[in-house]
């Protein structure tokens, strides 16, 4: 894989560095751009020289998602090389306008309980973040929908996999033959990617967030099925132990689901912000957006499982814990998994003693189907 160059560039965020990948195959392609910072130019320029190419050789830039650390330097690259930018339809407007957080985010924060006094500070913080990226309104775009093959010479290609979650139009790039994935911020080794609340569709002035964590888990299941040998992430070093990382992420979110539920009450309505304050008592102004997103994501799952209820009073959104009968919610999952295990066990014994167990199989399958169909 000597045609893949990882260029790791320092950024003033907690995650410390962001990666650009240079694919040295015709047409020469970059994956992501880094932020609008002098360091980005310096690191990129050095790496291009080391790889023996010039700025003019860059013909394509693929953006994994519309966050400023991944597209912020795009305008400078446009001026230096005039490449075509490949971006998913759902991220296009953010990148074209140079904004990481869509318009209307403050409204979502207010509705979900964030105190009015904090909103201006958060808006200022978001403005500062957005300054690390230029809008790409003059660039040439190739809009992606997922499923495309981005071809290189000698039959190498990268398949676009739409992996909504971290953002609605996040993409991973996959090569089946070599088991390579460029995972953007969908898979990171050192931190769990934050599924940030966002909006589907065009302008972000709707107050309804998209169900980012549900999307994210669904996208993880998609990636889990691929035959992967190595991941090149948006932050940090490449890594190979992909299956166990995915398992770690599942475990993290199921633990977080329990924690969110523990902080809630079945007597008292709480806003997502209030739940966030209990779960992360030390959060500062920079964390509010992440925390409210995190809580909303988990509440979406709990709503789906009918373990919480949502209501709107005076334009604020509240959640309350459901009082569940034992066969619902988490218990339902546990009972289900036991019935499944029992069915499998009987199935196994049946292959040894076919006549004795065959009727039991039918009975256990019947219970399994009955339980799934008739108990909500």
Binding site for Zn ion (CB under 5 A): 69, 185, 234
Q: C-beta of 16: minimal distance to Zn ion in Å? A: 11
Q: Is 101 or 318 the residue whose CB approaches Zn ion more closely?
A: 101
**Residues 119 and 106: beta-carbon distance below 8 Å:** yes
Q: C-beta of 8: minimal distance to Zn ion in Å? A: 12
Cβ count near 359 (within 10 Å): 10
**Residues 63 and 74: beta-carbon distance below 8 Å:** yes
Q: C-beta of 91: minimal distance to Zn ion in Å? A: 13
What CA–CA distance (Å, rounded) separates 159 from 167?
19
Q: C-beta of 206: minimal distance to Zn ion in Å? A: 25
Q: C-beta of 357: minimal distance to Zn ion in Å? A: 53
Q: Is 164 or 272 the residue whose CB approaches Zn ion more closely?
A: 164
DSSP state of 228: -
Q: Is 35 or 144 the residue whose CB approaches Zn ion more closely?
A: 35
- Show Cβ contacts of residue 53 under 8 Å, excluding neighbours closer than 6 positions: 22, 24, 28
- Show Cβ contacts of residue 89 under 8 Å, excluding neighbours closer than 6 positions: 143, 144, 145, 169
- Tell the residue number behind the tokens 């209307």, with chain if given: 104
Q: Is 71 or 273 the residue whose CB approaches Zn ion more closely?
A: 71
Q: C-beta of 185: minimal distance to Zn ion in Å? A: 4
Q: Is 232 helix (H, G, I), strand (E, B) or coil?
A: strand
What CA–CA distance (Å, rounded) separates 25 from 45?
18
Q: Is 134 or 185 the residue whose CB approaches Zn ion more closely?
A: 185
Q: Is 91 or 185 the residue whose CB approaches Zn ion more closely?
A: 185
Q: Is 69 or 134 the residue whose CB approaches Zn ion more closely?
A: 69
Structure tokens at 351: 């292959």
What CA–CA distance (Å, rounded) separates 65 from 89?
10
Q: Is 83 or 184 the residue whose CB approaches Zn ion more closely?
A: 184
Tell me the CA distances in angstroms from 371 to 17, 50, 337, 343, one per residue in order: 49, 62, 11, 13
Structure tokens at 298: 């988990």
Q: C-beta of 69: minimal distance to Zn ion in Å? A: 5
Q: C-beta of 285: minimal distance to Zn ion in Å? A: 20
What CA–CA distance (Å, rounded) separates 83 from 26?
13
Per the DSSP assignment, residues forming a β-bridge with 280 are: none
């Amino acid at each position: 894989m000597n045609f893949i160059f990882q260029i790791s560039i320092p950024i003033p965020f907690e995650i410390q560095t962001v990666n650009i990948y240079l694919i040295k195959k015709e047409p020469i392609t970059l994956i992501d751009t880094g932020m609008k910072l002098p360091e980005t130019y310096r690191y990129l320029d050095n790496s291009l020289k080391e790889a023996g190419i010039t700025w003019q050789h860059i013909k394509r830039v693929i953006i994994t998602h519309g966050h400023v650390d991944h597209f912020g330097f795009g305008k400078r690259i446009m001026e230096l090389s005039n490449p075509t930018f490949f971006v998913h339809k759902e991220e296009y407007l953010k990148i074209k306008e140079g904004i990481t957080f869509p318009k209307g985010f403050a409204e979502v924060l207010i509705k979900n309980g964030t105190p009015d006094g904090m909103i201006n500070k958060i808006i200022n913080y978001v403005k500062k973040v957005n300054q690390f990226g230029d809008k790409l309104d003059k660039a040439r775009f190739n809009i992606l929908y997922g499923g495309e093959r981005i071809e290189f010479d000698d039959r190498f290609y990268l398949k676009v996999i739409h992996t909504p979650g971290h953002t609605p139009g996040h993409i991973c790039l996959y090569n089946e033959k070599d088991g390579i994935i460029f995972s953007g911020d969908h898979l990171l080794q050192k931190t769990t990617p934050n599924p940030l609340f966002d909006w589907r569709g065009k302008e972000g002035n709707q107050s309804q967030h998209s169900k980012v964590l549900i999307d994210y888990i669904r996208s993880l299941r998609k990636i889990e099925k691929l035959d992967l040998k190595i991941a090149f992430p948006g932050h940090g070093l490449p890594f190979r132990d992909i299956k166990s990382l995915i398992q770690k992420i599942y475990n993290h979110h199921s633990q977080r689901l329990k924690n969110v539920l523990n902080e809630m009450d079945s007597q008292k309505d709480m806003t997502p912000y209030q739940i966030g304050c209990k779960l992360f008592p030390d959060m500062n102004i920079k964390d509010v957006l992440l925390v409210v997103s995190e809580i909303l994501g988990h509440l979406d799952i709990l709503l789906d499982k009918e373990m919480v209820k949502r209501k709107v009073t005076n334009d604020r959104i509240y959640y309350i814990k459901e009082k569940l009968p034992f066969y619902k919610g988490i218990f339902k999952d546990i009972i289900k998994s036991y019935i499944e295990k029992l069915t499998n066990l009987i199935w196994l014994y049946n292959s040894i003693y076919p006549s004795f167990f065959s009727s039991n199989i039918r009975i256990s399958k019947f219970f399994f189907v009955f339980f799934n169909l008739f108990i909500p």
